[in-house]
């Protein structure tokens, strides 16, 4: 199934409740929460209190993207805050297998992310263990960047692997996704579409409807 995962990094935090409810009512299936530590990525966003707030506002899937060094330190607190999916970066984990197992132990869906310059091949040993792979289509850290075209080849590569392996996993794309390129990303094999600035800039309801129509096509 194709799902929209609005990135609340671009939401108006003074109206978070209102905006989450609007998106929920219109049909967003996931809510993407970006946690940044100022180390793995240059920026600092917000932490688990915001995950908790989003959890209290919706029954939909809370999709937490940890852009954090050594994210294994925060799996318990992230799950307690209400995350349904926990994504950790391949580049940030010294013991990726242990971290993925830890995420499963706490009852969340386990997901691994790769930066634009990280090849798919480094995930070959872990793909049987994950529920989702997040392909970063920009360098992580900031909303509002332009999609890097070569990252789309990695979506195609992962889709092929998912289709031919016993463990099929979801493929999420994150960064620079807009109504112009979303269709192309779905064609490449992505099924979870994260979008921040393209959704929250301008008319939220109109933009959401446009994205959802593309996802249904």
CB 57 within 8 A of CB 81: no
Q: Which 8-state DSSP code applies to residue 170?
A: E
3-state secondary structure of 44: strand
Nearest-approach distance from CB 25 to ligand DX5, in angstroms: 21
Catalytic residue at 187?
A: no
Rank residues 130 and 147 by Cβ distance to ligand DX5 and give the closer one.
147
Rank residues 34 and 163 by Cβ distance to ligand DX5 and give the closer one.
34
Nearest-approach distance from CB 42 to ligand DX5, in angstroms: 10
CB 31 within 8 A of CB 5: yes
Residue nearest to Zn ion (CB): 65
Distance CA 44, CA 55 (A): 21
Rank residues 65 and 89 by Cβ distance to Zn ion and give the closer one.
65
Q: Which helix (H) or strand (E) holds 3?
A: strand 3-6
66 interacts with, out of ligand DX5, Zn ion, none, CB within 5 to 8 A per kind: none
Rank residues 10 and 58 by Cβ distance to ligand DX5 and give the closer one.
10
Of residues 37, 63, 170, 174, which has the active-site annotation? 174
Nearest-approach distance from CB 128 to ligand DX5, in angstroms: 25
Residues that bind ligand DX5 (CB under 6 A): 7, 9-10, 32, 34, 65, 138, 140-145, 174-177, 194-198
Residues that bind Zn ion (CB under 5 A): 34, 65, 174
| Dihedral (CA of 145, 11, 82, 60) sign | negative
Of residues 12, 25, 34, 84, which has the active-site annotation? 34
- Residues 47, 88, 184, 175, Cα dihedral to 10°: 40
| Dihedral (CA of 92, 158, 138, 204) sign | negative
145 interacts with, out of Zn ion, ligand DX5, none, CB within 5 to 8 A per kind: ligand DX5
Distance CA 44, CA 203 (A): 27
Tokens of 174: 């994150």
Nearest-approach distance from CB 142 to Zn ion, in angstroms: 10
Catalytic residue at 76?
A: no
Residues with active-site annotation: 34, 174
């Amino acid at each position: 199934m194709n799902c929209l995962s609005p990135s609340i990094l671009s939401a108006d935090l003074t109206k978070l409740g209102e905006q989450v409810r609007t998106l929920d009512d219109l049909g967003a299936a996931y809510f993407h929460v970006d946690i940044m530590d100022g180390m793995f990525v240059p920026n600092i966003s917000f932490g688990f209190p915001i995950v908790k707030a989003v959890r209290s506002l919706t029954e939909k899937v809370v999709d937490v993207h940890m852009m954090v060094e050594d994210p294994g330190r925060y799996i318990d607190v992230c799950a307690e805050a209400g995350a349904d999916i926990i994504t950790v970066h391949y580049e940030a984990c010294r013991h990726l297998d242990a971290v993925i197992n830890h995420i499963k132990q706490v009852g969340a869906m386990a997901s691994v992310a790769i930066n634009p310059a990280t090849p798919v091949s480094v995930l070959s040993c872990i793909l049987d263990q994950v529920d989702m792979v997040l392909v970063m289509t920009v360098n992580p850290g900031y909303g509002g960047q332009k999609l890097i075209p070569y990252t789309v080849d990695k979506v195609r590569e992962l889709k092929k692997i998912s289709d031919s392996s016993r463990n099929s996993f979801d493929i999420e794309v994150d960064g620079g996704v807009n109504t112009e390129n979303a269709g192309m990303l779905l064609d490449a094999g992505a099924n979870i579409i994260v979008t921040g600035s393209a959704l929250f800039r301008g008319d939220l309801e109109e933009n959401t409807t446009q994205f959802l129509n593309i996802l249904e096509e």
